[in-house]
Structure 1
């Protein structure tokens, strides 16, 4: 109570002798979701004293001076037949009930400022960003970049003094790691040290943004937000449950899109609806890995739930999943809205497309109870809409078995408070080559080449064999030629059916007959092989079988197959085996409509959420601390006008990220030092103890990937090749690829990733950061640190340093991006000269020890 009254005095509000402030805090925490501005069950609002006095539809809920007779107290106690309130969660604690009762007992006095909650629809994040002009500031150092004008104005208003500029070496290390995830080279350090001018710095920024390492560094950041995960579930049983094989193509799409400067809005659309947006573009289709990552093979409904939750969090900063079982407790998202959003994804299914130069992928198969689904390593996995009218059923209690079919199938739609106009979905007619991939020329060409190769190989077999074996070889050649003939017949039939080139029925009949002729020849070949097969000792598997197949039985079975093929040959048919599966000719257009709505310029959330992530990547703390919750239960922005200006600028720049990166890292705020004089530091901390105003640049520890990649970079062993299939996590200590390319899933991560707080694959809108002894041990004792420490030493020795002093100087520059100070030089020389080891081994130990230096893992 004393603390609350003190706060009120500071705010210029008279004290609260009746205790309403304390009581309101309890009501806000436990009762406002159902009895506040968002919702008023039974017509009752509890967010102001006047509303409480007004009561509910049933009458008064509290009588001044009589808490025991007040329904409010009776409800929270659960007295008599009254339903206990609140209905969900734990009951109020006795001391909380007493706080409410005390306020009623004292006469229910209201403070002079008795204001209820704001209208939820008017929440700051639900209104469009405002086009604000950056404030003019008198300090010329803070008046060049629009970002600085906002930052400096806030500092001046609060009376804090900004730090000076970072030194050139610190700044170069900071921006190089921020944009590429790698340290600067010695040559880059020396070049920038000679010319640290603003123009030279801008040239550095442009060079880094043009580097392929930019896409890898920021690709990993966005893949955190989008929950990238390789397949997992039951890896020990080789059984896919979560995510999907070959999803690494989505990771590569992310890296490539960022390097190409693809606009953010386009990336969002491709991830949600690349198959509807560009159904034949193999550079776009992997983007639907965002949808596939949420796939859960055992339960389709969980796939749908994850799609709603993480589409809301990743792109809109909304916790839509909170409306799964009931209306959202804080935001104006109803349970009906939840199911309308789910309906966008309801038609989803998986398909495996063929990829140039790779063997045909295994066909997709829907889940069968107790049947494993082993991973595969070819093809382009993607999503498609299986049905135009896939129903979405409303269900209760979060249990899909409790369907309310009386409501009928729910149509796709967006929350009313965000809908600026009537929402429309238009089906997308797909090109024939997407409906039937067998029309794609690369597939046809590869099939033709495979048949030609088989014929040539069979002909070679005939030429090389003699006697009885020649008959078998000739049969194999006949089968190969008929297979080629059958392929040509099927291609002609496909042309007629899909492209109108010829009589479709006649050519389908020829293709069917040719395929049946091939089947007969293959059956006859199998009979020859059975008759020619020498007796074999039974295998272990055959011994275990109840009745192992003898040669006589194999011959008998082959003869039956020949007879069956002959019978089929005489049957009239126009059915033949297509080169690939056939898919629906029309996609629902639902996901494309959703994606287009998300990135509309009048959507108040999307641009704000995106720039908040970008800001966090450079300034450590985001402008909105709750990166995945911009709703009423989330944090308010520290610099609301700056956030709006950045969002507007982002859209003005065509949603391109590189210009925004450039704007942020060329700001005076970004180039500030991470230290101040003790006097200035203490003065600023009194006003802003958490540095939310950015009066000093916030130091941070490098993320897991950057720690490992930096070790490999300074040793000269980092493999900079781009892309490709995921690398097994067990190879993290031995394979020098960048960390982004290693497998990352719910059943395990690379050792360095786990040790240094790599992304949680389930939910990582912000990484956690811990300090654990295992981190120091990894830098001191791991196989990677030992091996690369020695290689680091050999790299310096190859430069022929004149003496130990020069060796130490180069080691510091490579590892820490700076020169050693006098004390460090003295200690380093003493170590090398007095270790008792041969100089070469002492240098190895010294270089490895630098990995444990605080400045190696810290970005200042």
Structure 2
């Protein structure tokens, strides 16, 4: 703008020029001979960008409806409201040869890079290489492997049959799979973290002696807590009760200092509890009681814990919260807020609509997600997760599998790895066939069959891969147990965590394979981008290179001339205007510019023309 302050270019014109580029973003496409660079990490002011030095960076129109806003003072916060959508355009005095802007239909390989032949060959080659490695590892393990004892194999078969029968019994309703009634709420943070919040909006008063109570079953013993929330938006806690690997903790009255109030022994079956908090606002404390329902023992009896001025009435930020930290899995039921007269002020038993088996409770009766959630954590209503007999049969099955894996050693892991690699190769080939049928769009029945095959093979491959990973994690753990003394069992924690992650991965893969809604979905070979471009940049490029705008050609040939002759026709290479220098040979400059445009902007032609010219053949000499 400093170079053009006397030119007929208005403030609006700068925003019109910006509008040509408003829809754009960047992407990172895979190149032949390179690994997949993954999805391009877009700019985020608050996050550190990881540079991936792979592939090629391309510009594309991401937001086809992007609008350009007018602002003043160089600050995007100073928006001018009556100029909220500036359309692309050029300065008025140069607009006579500006064409119309029209959307551009892009070819398939532009909006779906995964359709490019080199990408398809690369993913197939990767799968083939993985299969070769798995085959070699299996053959090596076969040389040293031992036969698995028949009693172990028989025990595994029996455990599988028993567990399948228990699953069927629970499904038929013959065995209860809930803490109470037919359904319970599950918070599963085997991966990630799950936090649920409720503002208790229906509460009209908080009397002395109001009771909050709920039933808890710990399925995986890691950190879980219940909170009286001080400020949900800010993540502040007024009071809480935490269960963490055998210890029960809370805040001391009138403070935020944590102290132990009791203990439980998860390994001996203490995993089901009834928690009660009697609230006394005037004294600013609660009386906490915890009873173990597993053996009907009182663990905590009316111990004073912090309230810290908690009161949810009229304040949606001061509700209650359940927090299952990473590694934890719990079941909850019969959550009640009772008046001193035992009248239910708030009640959740998770039995009837809007609560449904297998579904999350977010959005139902005031239940909200939280900013503290970590991807991988989940919550859902279940009719089977709490079944003691089901948990017992599952534990026996896992123990039987572990015994077989331990006996097989690395050979079983190598065998599962080989099976997974075989199906993964078939899956990649099927996904390519599905792409070909889908984008050719000739026969709908063939398309449906190809998609179903690709989906089935991919999900089978995921289950086999997860099973192989679980086997390897289990074998590593069993070997470590022999090597590491029990006195330093904490050293095994990382291996236990790895095993839990592998189990969760397998469960997720099995759930996806069983989900009918995902039966016709498969993973594409690359991201999908918009099938159209706005045409804005094309229109701008045509305007810049129009014959009515010879400036572009003049600037280009001036640069080419300088590369060969080591001197320019216009010394001010960045300014051909009134503030620039006069051309030394204006007729030559114009002739070269016309030649470039007549050749279809063929730069190679211009290079050849110059280096074969009589002028280029001449030498320079100083006068005597």
TM-score calculated relative to the size of structure 1: 0.37
Which of 108, 111, 114 is the matching residue for 1:435? 111
- In 2 relative to 1, CA 367–536 (structure 1 residues): closer, same or farther, beyond 3 Å? farther
Native 8 Å contact 2:31 2:56 kept in 1 = yes
Could you say which residue in structure 1 is the equivalent of 2:86? 410
- In 2 relative to 1, CA 581–547 (structure 1 residues): closer, same or farther, beyond 3 Å? farther
* Offset at residue 581 of structure 1 (A): 0.6
Could you say which residue in structure 1 is the equivalent of 2:39? 363
* Offset at residue 587 of structure 1 (A): 1.1
* Offset at residue 662 of structure 1 (A): 6.0
* Offset at residue 643 of structure 1 (A): 3.0
Could you say which residue in structure 2 is the equivalent of 1:676? 623
Report whether the alignment pairs 1:511 with 2:445. Answer: no
Please show how residues 380-399 of structure 1 align to structure 2 within 5 Å.
380-399=56-75
* Offset at residue 585 of structure 1 (A): 0.5
* Offset at residue 661 of structure 1 (A): 5.0
Please show how residues 458-473 of structure 1 align to structure 2 within 5 Å.
458-465=134-141, 466-467=145-146, 468=408, 469-473=410-414
Could you say which residue in structure 2 is the equivalent of 1:347? 23
The CA distance in 1 between the partners of 2:90 and 2:524, in whole Å, is 40
The CA distance in 2 between the partners of 1:663 and 1:563, in whole Å, is 69
Which of 583, 594, 597 is the matching residue for 2:543? 597
* Deviation string, structure 1 residues 30-75 (Cα, Å, up to 9, x no partner): xxxxxxxxxxxxxxxxxxxxxxxxxxxxxxxxxxxxxxxxxxxxxx
Please show how residues 48-197 of structure 1 align to structure 2 within 5 Å.
none
Report whether the alignment pairs 1:606 with 2:549. Answer: no
The CA distance in 2 between the partners of 1:668 and 1:568, in whole Å, is 73
Which of 121, 125, 134 is the matching residue for 1:445? 121
Report whether the alignment pairs 1:524 with 2:467. Answer: yes
Between 1 and 2, higher relative CO (CA 8 Å, sep ≥ 6) is seen in 2
- In 2 relative to 1, CA 648–470 (structure 1 residues): closer, same or farther, beyond 3 Å? closer
3-state SS of 1:382 partner: strand
Which of 617, 640, 661 is the matching residue for 2:563? 617
The CA distance in 1 between the partners of 2:500 and 2:617, in whole Å, is 81
3-state SS of 1:420 partner: helix
* Offset at residue 499 of structure 1 (A): 2.0
Could you say which residue in structure 2 is the equivalent of 1:584? 530
Native 8 Å contact 1:436 1:582 kept in 2 = yes
Report whether the alignment pairs 1:568 with 2:512. Answer: yes
* Offset at residue 634 of structure 1 (A): 2.5
Report whether the alignment pairs 1:651 with 2:597. Answer: yes
- In 2 relative to 1, CA 480–419 (structure 1 residues): closer, same or farther, beyond 3 Å? same
Native 8 Å contact 1:330 1:633 kept in 2 = no
* Deviation string, structure 1 residues 172-229 (Cα, Å, up to 9, x no partner): xxxxxxxxxxxxxxxxxxxxxxxxxxxxxxxxxxxxxxxxxxxxxxxxxxxxxxxxxx
* Deviation string, structure 1 residues 337-384 (Cα, Å, up to 9, x no partner): 222222222211111111222211232011233433333333222111
The CA distance in 2 between the partners of 1:479 and 1:668, in whole Å, is 69
3-state SS of 1:491 partner: helix
- In 2 relative to 1, CA 373–536 (structure 1 residues): closer, same or farther, beyond 3 Å? farther
Could you say which residue in structure 2 is the equivalent of 1:497? 438
* Deviation string, structure 1 residues 557-600 (Cα, Å, up to 9, x no partner): 43333333333332111332211111110011211221122122
The CA distance in 2 between the partners of 1:615 and 1:558, in whole Å, is 64
Which of 428, 442, 457 is the matching residue for 1:487? 428
- In 2 relative to 1, CA 522–650 (structure 1 residues): closer, same or farther, beyond 3 Å? closer
* Offset at residue 476 of structure 1 (A): 0.7
* Offset at residue 394 of structure 1 (A): 1.9
* Offset at residue 617 of structure 1 (A): 3.5
Could you say which residue in structure 1 is the equivalent of 2:162? none
3-state SS of 2:32 partner: coil
* Offset at residue 664 of structure 1 (A): 5.3
* Offset at residue 506 of structure 1 (A): 5.2
* Deviation string, structure 1 residues 634-670 (Cα, Å, up to 9, x no partner): 2333443443333334434554445655665644598
Report whether the alignment pairs 1:535 with 2:488. Answer: no
The CA distance in 1 between the partners of 2:125 and 2:559, in whole Å, is 49
3-state SS of 1:624 partner: coil
Could you say which residue in structure 2 is the equivalent of 1:333? 9
Native 8 Å contact 1:331 1:632 kept in 2 = no
Could you say which residue in structure 2 is the equivalent of 1:636? 582
The CA distance in 1 between the partners of 2:607 and 2:502, in whole Å, is 68
The CA distance in 2 between the partners of 1:668 and 1:496, in whole Å, is 59
Please show how residues 457-856 of structure 1 align to structure 2 within 5 Å.
457-465=133-141, 466-467=145-146, 468=408, 469-500=410-441, 501-503=443-445, 504-505=447-448, 507-533=450-476, 534-535=479-480, 549-572=493-516, 573=518, 574-657=520-603, 660=606, 666-667=613-614, 671=618, 673-677=620-624
Native 8 Å contact 2:69 2:85 kept in 1 = yes
* Offset at residue 451 of structure 1 (A): 2.1
- In 2 relative to 1, CA 670–489 (structure 1 residues): closer, same or farther, beyond 3 Å? closer
Native 8 Å contact 1:650 1:657 kept in 2 = yes
- In 2 relative to 1, CA 388–551 (structure 1 residues): closer, same or farther, beyond 3 Å? closer
The CA distance in 2 between the partners of 1:513 and 1:633, in whole Å, is 69
* Offset at residue 510 of structure 1 (A): 4.1
The CA distance in 2 between the partners of 1:462 and 1:652, in whole Å, is 65
Native 8 Å contact 1:344 1:590 kept in 2 = yes
Native 8 Å contact 1:350 1:364 kept in 2 = yes
The CA distance in 1 between the partners of 2:74 and 2:623, in whole Å, is 53
Could you say which residue in structure 2 is the equivalent of 1:425? 101
3-state SS of 1:535 partner: helix
Native 8 Å contact 2:97 2:543 kept in 1 = no
- In 2 relative to 1, CA 477–596 (structure 1 residues): closer, same or farther, beyond 3 Å? same
Structure having the higher helix fraction is: 1
* Offset at residue 438 of structure 1 (A): 1.9
* Deviation string, structure 1 residues 693-719 (Cα, Å, up to 9, x no partner): xxxxxxxxxxxxxxxxxxxxxxxxxxx
Native 8 Å contact 2:72 2:78 kept in 1 = yes
* Offset at residue 547 of structure 1 (A): 9.5
- Alpha carbon RMSD of aligned pairs, Å? 3.1
The CA distance in 1 between the partners of 2:429 and 2:617, in whole Å, is 64
- In 2 relative to 1, CA 653–513 (structure 1 residues): closer, same or farther, beyond 3 Å? closer
The CA distance in 2 between the partners of 1:459 and 1:519, in whole Å, is 18
* Offset at residue 536 of structure 1 (A): 9.3
3-state SS of 1:381 partner: strand
Structure having the higher strand fraction is: 2
Native 8 Å contact 1:619 1:670 kept in 2 = no
The CA distance in 2 between the partners of 1:658 and 1:576, in whole Å, is 46
* Deviation string, structure 1 residues 526-576 (Cα, Å, up to 9, x no partner): 2211121132999xxxx9xx9983433433343333333333332111332
* Offset at residue 409 of structure 1 (A): 1.8
* Offset at residue 507 of structure 1 (A): 4.1
- In 2 relative to 1, CA 602–554 (structure 1 residues): closer, same or farther, beyond 3 Å? closer
